[in-house]
Chains A and B, each alone.
Chain A
Amino acid sequence: MTTAASLGPMPRMDGPPEPELVHIRDVIYRAAGIFHPDNKLRLLQDRCGRRMQELKLQTLRQYLECLTTHPQRQAELVALLNEITIGETCFFRNQPQLDALRHVVIPNILQAKSNLPLRRLRIWSAGCSTGEEPYTLRMLTLEEAGGQLKDWSTEILATDLNERSLAHAQQGVYGDYSTRHLAPSYRSKYFVPLDDKLQVNAIARSNISFTRLNLSDDSRMTFMKSMDAIFCCNVLIYFDLASKRRVIQHFFNNLLPHGYLFLGHSESLYGVNDDFRLVHLPGATAYVKGERVLAGGKSR
């Protein structure tokens, strides 16, 4: 892995970042696979600041030591990751990723399956938390129901380890924060008002199944077969390398040959798995299985 020291000059907001902050960025990337580019370093500093306040630490150097040499460093890393991902969950969280799904990935999948008798699209939201992601995916496929997904059935499988999160997801009631990126047309089409909140309506709930699943449960993971696309955003960052490798291998086995794996924004599989290949989509990245020519692969 390339270290920060070897990088060329990089953009920054106001002066060079503190070396300790760059080091913390690298610690997080190595341990959790989530990367903070230079224009997000201030955000990372803010998150570290919250932890430092909690721990009553004065300097980033002290906090770096806490993350690297302290006996409780693993627990501290988890606490920092919680700060980093807090408030991440909302509808239409990663618009470029969703646009790429709609305009590139789904057409590629449909083309790959065009000769099969069963016209079915299966998408798995692995680690769906309180449900915003699977409902977003459902709304997106419903928008295409009269277009490219005409005559296709869509199944969304939504799984999470946390029962309380799953109960929230099944209830489908959301406040302003979760719905902040929701376009007015989606609000009216797929939600009904409930007090001062919004509840997902019956159309957007259709064809989604919510199930409790531990991604480390090898016997159950084996049965999540025939997926066209898997979304697993900001979930694997909490796994140690060995567990992460096992989960990724299950994803690999469960995806159909043309399938796509999506991770969170700035989340990487580097050093975790050699079978998946990184692909660049417009404004987003994803992973596909092995070496093969994708649609448009001959164009340069």
Chain B
Amino acid sequence: MTHATATKQVLLQRLEGLRQIPTIPAVLAPLLRYLQQPVEHLDVQKVTDLLSQDKSLAAQCLQMANSPLFGRAQSSQSLRGAVVSLGFHRVSDIAMSCGVLNMLPRDKTGLDPVVFWEHSLGCALICRHLAAKINFSDPTKAYLAGLLHDLGIIVNLWVLPKEFRTAWETAKAGGIPLHEAEQKCMGFTHCDSGRLLAERWKLAPELIEVVSFHHAPEKSVDHTGLVSLVQLADLLCRMSSLNHGYVEKRAVNLREEPGFALLSQHSTTLKEFDWARLTFELDSYMDEVHSLVRAIYRT
């Protein structure tokens, strides 16, 4: 048995006794379930009450809600005010983002959780932005898909921290993609471990595909458009300062990525799309994401 195969078996064993991995904060599950109802059934006070049950989560949500990244024209002092002006959909995005933050270990050796969260949040925002600009057929799912695509990294950080750290350091030293180094050092990637957790959590089928195939969208079965959108947004992040905490030493031509051809089937405007302008626009996002994440992480 090779070292890598042995590690994969250890992963499976440790995942079985999954006690170490924190689940989505208790308050989030009922909130997200509630927000899935048709908008006309939703009540602002009920959403505010659900969020307020976890004081720390409520404070983080308010901080995010007041960021220009979520489209606020004026800052809001109260959670209720934020819910009213942002709308239920954005509140759901924000609450889930804070949930992911709270799942991260605080250990900063290897891949810094702050860096990981910046990448996840950045990818979520780029997915949302890109989906709107290319008239993607299902833009409402884009944010959450971008946010959760690297769920497997959270698993790796909790379940196999030493082995994952070696993989991350190998990736950093070689300037290669993280999933390649994971495969080499551990025998599996965050796509594999993320899939196990996503299935255990019974995430929506499209999210399970995003978590499993965002490095190989051609393997996606039912949700190729969304998976491809995430693949391209993830690449844009990794070639920017919203990367995995190191520089990947390579040149990426998005048009040659499998996700590009696949996404073209879900967007009539993608072939003529101005990627240069999008890249320049992201400069603003990067600054905002860095400052927002650092501010929230201190609270």
Chain A interfacial positions (CB closer than 8 Å to B): 1-2, 6-12, 15-16, 29, 35, 37-40, 99, 103-105, 107-108, 266, 268-271, 277-283, 285-286, 288, 291-297, 299-300
Contacts and interface: CB of A to CB of B under 8 A. Distances in A.
Contact of A11 (B69, B247, B251, B254): B69
Main secondary structure of the interface of A (DSSP, over half): loop
Range of interface residues on chain B?
35 or more
Contacts of A281: 239, 251-252
B133 A39 contact: no
B51 to A, nearest CB: 21
B269 to A, nearest CB: 9
A15 B73 contact: yes
A8 B124 CA distance: 13
A59 B274 CA distance: 31
B152 interface: no
A11 B68 contact: yes
Contact of B280 (A2, A108, A268, A295): A268
B129 A12 contact: no
A39 B252 contact: no
Contact of A270 (B68, B176, B276, B288): B276
Contact of B249 (A16, A40, A104, A285): A104
A29 B128 contact: no
A282 B281 CA distance: 16
Nearest to B273: A2
A281 B243 CA distance: 12
B141 to A, nearest CB: 15
19 contacts: A6-B133, A9-B68, A11-B67, A16-B73, A37-B283, A39-B288, A40-B283, A40-B284, A266-B280, A268-B276, A280-B253, A283-B241, A283-B247, A291-B255, A294-B250, A294-B252, A296-B251, A299-B176, A300-B257
A1, A107, A270 pick with most chain B CB within 10 angstroms:
A270
B132 A277 contact: no
B149 interface: no
B211 to A, nearest CB: 15
A273 B90 CA distance: 39
A299 B180 contact: yes
Given A11-B287, A300-B257, A278 B247 contact: no
Given A7-B132, A104-B249, A300-B215, 20 more contacts: A1-B274, A8-B128, A8-B129, A9-B69, A11-B284, A16-B73, A37-B282, A268-B277, A271-B274, A278-B254, A279-B253, A280-B236, A280-B251, A286-B251, A288-B253, A297-B252, A299-B176, A300-B177, A300-B216, A300-B235
